[in-house]
Copies of this chain bind each other. A is one copy, B any other.
Amino acid sequence: MSWIQETYKEGLRFGLELKAQLFSGQSDFQKVEIFESTKHGRVLLNDDCFMLCERDERIYHEMMAHVPLSVHPNPRKVLIIGGGDGGTAREVLRHSTVEKCTLVEIDKMVVDACREFIPSTAKVFDDPRMETRIEDGLAFAKNSQEKFDVILVDSTDPSGPALSLFDHQFYADLTQRLTDNGIIVAQGESVFYETEMQSKLLSITSSLFPLTGIFNFTNMTYPGGLWSFTWASKALHPIKDLRAGLKLGPMFYYNEDVHRSAFNLPQFQKDALAKWIKI
């Protein structure tokens, strides 16, 4: 029996039983691998870290997309930084108000490999509402003149190509890309292991936005199970402004009660991050 295995920080390890390797490549940015697991569908790993697993990817993608898009009163233009597997875009386009979803992924190999081997997320790239740009999200945030209603930072962990996506300059630039009542959501790392990084990210967003905080979800695949998103807005409150009763079709994880509950943090996390949360 062979395993697809991630050795995470602090002596913690997670694995899925391997059926077959489907793709392996080294891009200019990272190692990209796709495996077939025995019971969890196909799996994407970048630099030996689990990015996506077909059995539970809907959890992360539903929570990243539907929380902000159910809060914004009329999301028409959405920007995704990263998200080259397509899962977040797929969920974004379930909102009928969305006219255009611009996805800026630095690594063409991720998009190409997912289009070939993980169509369950990547077939979204054929949707005419998608504008897919293979370029540096950092440069796009700085140089674009466009404004977006919702910005989703669907990045890998803060190392390698994604390191600068956890910096003040990037968020200052994103602020310029956001409409006046827009909302940003960013992948926020492990609740159990990344309090320090979350503190840093929230200190940045709270210096730029009147409303900011964190919300959680649990999946199988990211080590430690409990994972977070950081959010920030100039005007929108993620619970008070929730538009109840949206018809989005069948969900795996997300519903309105889960939406509201996601903002109720475990006590240790609340204690560690309270000073940055403005809600």
Binding site for B on A (CB under 8 A): 3, 5, 10-17, 37-40, 56, 59, 192, 218-220, 224-226, 251-255, 257-258, 260-261, 264-268, 270
Contact present for B10 and A3 (CB under 8 Å): no
When chains A and B are docked, how far (Å) is the Cα of A267 from the Cα of B17? 26
Q: Which 10 pairs show the lowest CB-CB distances between chains A and B?
A: A225-B225, A11-B17, A261-B261, A257-B264, A13-B15, A10-B39, A11-B38, A218-B226, A261-B264, A218-B218
Once the chains bind, are B270 and A192 in contact (CB under 8 Å)?
no
15 A-B pairs (CB sep. < 8 Å)? A5-B13, A10-B40, A11-B16, A12-B16, A12-B220, A13-B14, A13-B16, A15-B15, A192-B220, A219-B225, A220-B224, A220-B225, A220-B226, A225-B226, A261-B261
* Residue in B220, B224, B226, B255 whose beta carbon sits within 8 Å of that of A267 in the complex: B255
Give Cα A255 to B59, complex, Å. Answer: 24
- With a cutoff of 8 Å between Cβ atoms, the chain B residues found around residue A260 in the complex are 261, 264
Complex alpha-carbon distance, A257 and B37, angstroms: 37
Nearest chain B CB to A12 CB, angstrom units: 6
User: Given A11-B16, A15-B12, A253 and B268 touching (CB < 8 A)?
Assistant: yes
8 Å CB contact of A258 from B224, B257, B264: B264
Cβ–Cβ < 8 Å partners of A254 in chain B: 267
Chain B residues within an 8 Å CB radius of A261: 260-261, 264
Which residues from chain B contact A192 at a C-beta distance below 8 Å?
Answer: 56, 220
What is the CA–CA distance of A16 and B15 in the complex, to the nearest angstrom?
12
Assembly CA distance A28 to B129 (angstroms)? 64
Known: A11-B38, A14-B14. 15 other contacts (CB 8 A): A5-B13, A11-B16, A11-B37, A11-B40, A12-B220, A218-B218, A219-B225, A220-B225, A225-B226, A251-B267, A252-B266, A253-B266, A254-B267, A258-B267, A260-B264
Tell me, in angstroms, the Cα distance from A267 to B14 when the chains sit together.
Answer: 25
* Nearest opposing residue in chain B for A55, CB measure: B192
A56: chain B residues at CB < 8 Å are 192
- When C-beta atoms are compared, the residue in chain B nearest to A56 turns out to be B192
Set of chain B residues within 8 Å of A17, measured between Cβ atoms: 11-13
Which residues of the partner chain B approach A218 to less than 8 Å between Cβ atoms?
Answer: 218, 225-226
In the bound complex, CA of A266 to CA of B250 (Å): 12
**Chain B residue with Cβ nearest A9:** B39
In the complex, the chain B residue whose C-beta lies closest to that of A3 is B13
A265 surroundings in chain B (CB, below 8 A): 257-258
Residues of B within 8 A of A257 (CB): 264-265
Give the distance to chain B from A95, nearest Cβ to Cβ, in Å: 17
A17 shortest CB reach to chain B, Å: 3
